[in-house]
Amino acid sequence: MMLAEDDYRLIGEEPNEEVLYEDRYLIVHERALVIKRYYFPSLGSRAIPWNKIERVQIARDADVKWYELKMWGMGFGTIWWNCKPRVITWNRYGRRFEINGLSQILATNIVVGVKNSWIRPGTFAENPQQAMAAIGRLLYRNPHLHSE
């Protein structure tokens, strides 16, 4: 199934529009949820307009299994992950690599349910609680548009 062109383009910044959350992997923009480093091999971003999103969940709450995880692309499941090493993380403060356990991975990744699509985009969030709070503000501001 082909998705609409506006699903793929990065939403431009307007002076009066607000970015509620941003990190190296995700932007919660007033017009769309933008997943950075999404497309292979270009590392292009994917902008998903709010009216096309059914739900957004932390991976743990979405019941993501270990075999559905992948550093980039689709594992054995329905989630297409942006480019991010999920098992190994660079610790900026200690200047070393850390191995993340499954519970930590599931607590820091977000899965997006898109209307009329069986593929669910997934991304890491540097601060998942802040990201989900910003997403909740925008996703549910017009409840009649969403199925939840």
Sequence ranges of the domains in the chain? 5-145
pLDDT, tens digit, for every residue of 98-131?
777 788 888 999 999 999 999 999 999 999 999 9
Longest dimension (CA), the chain: 47
36 vs 59: CA distance, rounded Å: 17
Res 4: pLDDT:
39
Task: List Cβ neighbours of 98 (8 Å cut-off, separation of 6 or more).
Answer: 88, 89, 90, 91
The three-state secondary structure class of 113 is strand
Res 84: pLDDT:
81
Residues of the chain with pLDDT under 50: 1-10, 144, 146-148
Instruction: Please give the model's pTM, rounded to 2 decimal places.
Output: 0.78
Res 9: pLDDT:
47
Res 5: pLDDT:
44
